[in-house]
Structure 1
């Protein structure tokens, strides 16, 4: 071997060894110790890296939790169970919160809506919205090409035969990706406990709505008038529900003339207080319309004329003294 090459190899190898030793020394000398709780919190997370928590991924969220920059219950995908595990790691308590899932603010599918023409472009909601708004007359309606279905990381959305997203509440984690993806802004996150949903987003006048959709909100305000807790108001020709105020009585859905308000579940038809009542007054305090009468330590009674059948008294009672009778029980 040429001596020059040999000397070059030896010198380069020596320099590499010196530099490696220097780097090793620097890594040891200036090493920043990571809080071991970060790894534990990250392991407790679902690992979806969906960004629904507001951070780049699970690792970033875990670091933020340990640094006190994010709440232990900040992962909507993990829910209360993951929040409890993280709280245990952090030595704190987790606040129990109502899980949220995606809800569609449109009931106008292929069958219910008037067509404005035939869309020939790229079969995505984003493209259709950018060109001419798809095939439906209503410019607030679901475009039906399934961008939300494609973006969902948990396969919780399927476009049904009527051309509308069908959301599986068991699979939906409330990550919000579909909400951000929808160009019409007709998806939102709502509490899973909510039973009343307004399936319309149109701000058109009632006359225009009637021409374009059979199930659209016409802004008649009947729902707002019948709501016993003022949870609905009309904003720019559209009924809007406040989920924080709503008590799930279903009166708005019963009154809606177009069927744009949907009530999920079996509706309560009667509420009675039985002999288990100990007169603790918890039910009376929970009632939003003062429909329960009774003295302390005496059996209470439900004023059937005032009662709105919301079931809040049932949830408040801890001695099984409240009986609920549903539509199915009275059939």
Structure 2
């Protein structure tokens, strides 16, 4: 009897919001558009518009339009260019985001990410930390308005003891997680996400 293959999807472990090292008042990047209608602060474009495959690597090498967080998404669109299904785009916060309905979990975007921020997981594990910064909380606050500050609220609210703080950011044990969404609801920084959009992320408190 053949085993049922569970659908795989890619998730990006960065929610965006990292401050960019560009001049105040000058649009960053090359003027591409994000998922929304306005110009993006990261200078990339969304599905179907063709960002450069080496966009992120170029940012790393030239330091142009670099983000202040050394662990954050560069927003250069290398993953967007790598995806053959147009499932990856750069969101309005300047970070890569995956449409789980289009994603086939092939892993091409993960291979294209120079910071290894994209991982492939099963659809049943829809709750995931969207920050892997190892900076202390105070520094993360300076760098980003959605980064994990290791406050431990998610740890205290998880009914399955599935969350721990490691290297200054939340880590979820997928074997213990029941996807109740309590951590995503309680996180004051919106650093834990539900890619199905079922649970409320406290966007209103971002930046507080």
* Alignment equivalent of 1:116, drawn from 14, 21, 25: 21
**1:1-331 to 2 correspondence within 5 Å?**
93-108=1-16, 112-117=17-22, 124-132=55-63, 134-263=65-194, 264-267=196-199
Q: CA RMSD in A?
A: 2.2
TM-score by length of 1: 0.48
Q: Flag the structure with more relative contact order, 1 or 2, with Cα contacts below 8 A and sequence separation at least 6.
A: 2
Change (3 A) 1:125 1:251: same
Deviation at 1:133, TM superposition (A): 7.3
Change (3 A) 1:106 1:133: farther
Question: How far apart, in 1, do the equivalents of 2:117 and 2:4 lie?
Answer: 28
Question: How far apart, in 2, do the equivalents of 1:148 and 1:126 lie?
Answer: 11
Unaligned runs of 5+ in 1: 1-92, 268-331
TM-score by length of 2: 0.74
Deviation at 1:190, TM superposition (A): 1.6
Deviation at 1:210, TM superposition (A): 0.4
Matched-pair contact (CA < 8 Å) for 2:20–2:65: no
Q: Which of these two proteins has the greater Rg computed from alpha carbons? A: 1
Question: How far apart, in 2, do the equivalents of 1:94 and 1:247 lie?
Answer: 26
Question: How far apart, in 2, do the equivalents of 1:161 and 1:220 lie?
Answer: 26
Matched-pair contact (CA < 8 Å) for 2:15–2:93: no
Question: How far apart, in 1, do the equivalents of 2:147 and 2:78 lie?
Answer: 22
Change (3 A) 1:262 1:142: same
Deviation at 1:255, TM superposition (A): 2.0
Deviation at 1:120, TM superposition (A): 7.5
Give the number of the structure whose residues are more often helix, by fraction: 1
Matched-pair contact (CA < 8 Å) for 2:11–2:97: no
Matched-pair contact (CA < 8 Å) for 1:179–1:189: yes
Question: How far apart, in 2, do the equivalents of 1:178 and 1:197 lie?
Answer: 17
Matched-pair contact (CA < 8 Å) for 1:133–1:139: no
Question: How far apart, in 1, do the equivalents of 2:157 and 2:5 lie?
Answer: 29
Deviations 1:85-108 (A, max 9, x none): xxxxxxxx2211321100011112
1:233 partner SS? strand
Deviations 1:57-92 (A, max 9, x none): xxxxxxxxxxxxxxxxxxxxxxxxxxxxxxxxxxxx
Question: How far apart, in 2, do the equivalents of 1:134 and 1:233 lie?
Answer: 33
Structure 1 runs of 4+ off > 4 angstroms? 118-123
